[in-house]
Chain A
Amino acid sequence: MGNVGAKDVPVLLSPEGLRIDGRRVDELRPIKIQAGALKHADGSAFVEWGANKVMAAVYGPREVHPRHLQQNTKAVIQCKYNMAAFSVDERKRPGLDRRSQEISKVIAEALESVVFVEEFPRTSIDVYIEVLQANAGTRCAGIVAASVALADAGIPMVDLLPAVAVGKAGGALVLDLKKEEDNFGEADLPMALVPQSGRLVLLQMEGHMTPAELSQALDMGVAGCRQIYERMKAALRERYAVEPAAEGSA
């Protein structure tokens, strides 16, 4: 981010109510999801969402490494969120940092709340999220990719887990922040929704909102998640197009 002079702050919301990339306040960036993008993983997904490109791979349930993390009554979900060095304009120093550890942890916990972990005691479900190109909202893109990958891996779960951020930019609540809105906006509120139950299993906030704004932002986010949910389902249906019916085979 670095220091930016006031004259560099972009106009985040035009007088006509359009955003920096021409979207309306409640409009998502274009999103494209491919299920089963990797051959060797048990499940995988590639998500292009605005200028974000995120790959997720799921392995397992399998033996737990390191062993001491094994749980006798359920599977552990180990998530590793990582940003490639080339994913942002200025080279991102590779490896673990506080941010990626936090994101790994909150994503693992969000996924654990939808996966039927009790069905696979003493095993590990390993989720790898690689951000190849980042433009704000990568944790949400990571959750979307990871949950499509989990379904692709045949892992039993309550539901897919769509996620999106709502923010405040140029004084207005906006859905699905892009980089400039994230950097120069007033608030960022990522969330992940379980559509089946309507529960939120991830909710974080940075910045400032009034209670009334928060309430409205949650409604916007839930509506956004439901749109993303449809895209996730479509991606899985495309990958697993049902074989044409045939009475009696060869």
Chain B
Amino acid sequence: MGRGHRPSHRRRGHEGSPSHSFGDRVLVLPGEELPGHGLKPGPGTYRVGGRIYASVLGLLSPRPPLVQVVPLSGRYIPKPRDVVIGTVTDVQGTFWLLDIGAPRWAPLHMTGTPWKIEVGETDRYLRVGESVVVQVENLDPTGRIGVTMNGEGLGKLEGGTIVSLSPARIPRVVGRGGSMIQTIIQRTGAQIAVGQNGRVWVGGSPEAIERVREALRIIAEGAQHRGLTERVDSYLRATASGDEVGPQEPPTETAHRDAPGPTYVSPPPADRDVEPEIEDEEPVDPDLE
């Protein structure tokens, strides 16, 4: 049968163009043929009979020798070393199952925590419905997601609230060099932990939490990214009550590593490498300190 596509003349000149340039970002849909002459099918694409097609809805991001499509929607797809926020959905004798917004629940084994736990005592430390900051450690081909709570900035979340966004918006929430998140923290005095899975934990006064929630809504819905930080900043300035006196003390970590129920109040660790996909959205340095 014949192909259903005209050649895509709109998208010439992608090969070799710098992937950082925002100017040539092209929305592609599943089944759309991609300009992939001499390139290999990367993530978000497939190849049939020498032609490369998009398999997901997203932005075409040639990355020679690969053609790839960065998805604009969908569930969180875990990557090793991602720091994510999860909620306990099940407690077993030696592990918890966490909902991190991924296709599958992620088991957190008791050895992956800073606590010294006897088998069967897991529910004294974390119960269903409680939330934690964990790091993705390993993925296996069956989709099993191994996470750990051992590491700087990881631990149980006490109080506060969790706001869910599309994982694709997280680079915007952090901003270039952490500029966006710094602005929000400074203008609201709230404590914030950002998970790469699109979940943002916010602690602090109810007013601060509400203002952060609104700021996140602006970011989530803001179509253009030019001036997004200014828009958020002006919203936060407009709603300032005067309580938050400029930059606060940097969030401190006061986790009691040996006791059940440590208090967690720090942003995610800063050691995460910039992921190519995110770099494409906007260069991100999650170093918030």
Contacts and interface: CB of A to CB of B under 8 A. Distances in A.
Tell whether A and B belong to one assembly: yes
Interface of A: 42-43, 60-63, 72, 75, 116, 120-123, 151-160, 194-199, 226, 229, 233, 236-237, 240-247, 249-250
Contact of A43 (B2, B21, B73): B73
B49 to A, nearest CB: 10
Given A61-B75, A154-B56, A197-B1, A243 B25 contact: yes
Contacts of B179: 250
Given A121-B143, A159-B30, A42 B5 contact: no
Of the listed residues B1, B31, B143, the one surrounded by the most CB atoms of chain A closer than 10 A to its CB is: B31
Interface in B123-156: 141-143
Given A42-B74, A61-B75, A61-B103, A156 B30 contact: yes
Of the listed residues A244, A245, A250, the one surrounded by the most CB atoms of chain B closer than 10 A to its CB is: A250
A160 B31 contact: yes
Interface stretch (B112-120, B224-232, B238-246, B251-259): B224-232
A42 B75 contact: yes
A202 B114 CA distance: 54
Q: Which 9 A-B pairs have the closest CB atoms?
A: A154-B74, A198-B1, A159-B31, A195-B4, A61-B103, A250-B229, A154-B73, A156-B55, A246-B226
Nearest to A62: B103
Nearest to A195: B4
Contact of A151 (B30, B44, B226): B30
Contact of B25 (A195, A196, A242): A242
Given A116-B55, A121-B142, A249-B228, A154 B72 contact: yes
B226 A244 contact: yes
Contacts of A158: 30-31, 46, 53, 55
Contacts of A249: 176, 225-229, 282
Contacts of A60: 75, 103
A151 B29 CA distance: 8
B104 interface: yes
Contacts of A156: 30, 44, 55-56
A250 B226 contact: yes
16 contacts: A42-B73, A60-B75, A122-B104, A153-B73, A154-B56, A155-B74, A156-B56, A157-B56, A158-B55, A159-B30, A195-B5, A242-B26, A243-B25, A244-B224, A245-B25, A250-B179
A213 B289 CA distance: 72
B42 to A, nearest CB: 13
B226 A233 contact: no
A171 B2 CA distance: 30
Given A195-B31, A196-B5, A250-B225, A154 B26 contact: no
Contacts of B226: 244, 246, 249-250
Interface string B175-193: 1100100000000000000
Given A196-B5, A197-B48, A122 B30 contact: no
Contacts of B30: 151, 156-160
A236 B55 contact: no
Nearest to A232: B29
A245 B22 contact: yes
